[in-house]
Amino acid sequence: MSQQIKKLHILTLNGPNLNMLGKREPAHYGRESLETISENLHALAAKLGVTLTFEQSNHEGVLIDHIQSAPDLAVDGIIINPAAYTHTSIAIRDALLASKIPFIEVHLSNIYAREPFRHKSMVSDIAIGTIAGLGGDSYQLALRGLVTKLHQNNRGD
């Protein structure tokens, strides 16, 4: 008997000012727009056979609402670039913990090679992993890594 296998659903969340990518501090963030990053990630998601939702908000509460809704939307994994909230938001950390959804933290820039206040992340220690410093490729690697990890979890590896 053939069994219907549910496609993995990955939610990608982007925090404040990431809508300005391409115009914003290109020395740190490159010239790629968030729209291009989204298009490239959707192309990879199609290749990997997963469903991708891609969101950006400048508002902490909206990001938290997305995280809280994720279990009801049957999201299997989250890729999150909390942007400046990385360094400040206990509320985003708490929402990720409450959701119990595995996630990967991404950054375009290498936050550890920048100002000391960027060296502290509120979410790194509860993430599967962190990918930073590779521009838009950080998202591509995060999606590949997350999908591999979720398949391993489903197989019980």
Output the DSSP codes for 3-32: -PPPPPEEEEEE-TTGGGTTTS-HHHH-S-
Give the tokens for residue 36: 């291009």
Residues 84-113 that bind ligand DQA (CB under 6 A): 84, 86, 107-109, 111
Q: Which residue among 9, 66, 85, 107 is the active-site one? A: 107
> Quick check: 124 binds ligand DQA (CB under 6 A)?
no
Contact characters 14-33, ligand DQA, x per CB under 6 A: ---x----------------
- Sign (positive or negative) of CA dihedral 72, 100, 67, 25: negative
Binding range to ligand DQA, per CB under 6 A, among 50-58, 59-67, 76-84, 90-98: 76-84
- 144 touches ligand DQA by CB under 6 A: no
Is residue 28 annotated as part of the catalytic site, yes or no?
A: no
Q: Active-site residue 29, yes or no?
A: yes
Please list the residues that pair with 78 across neighbouring strands.
11, 103
**Residues at the interface with ligand DQA (CB under 6 A):** 17, 81, 83-84, 86, 107-109, 111, 118
Catalytic positions, please? Answer: 29, 107
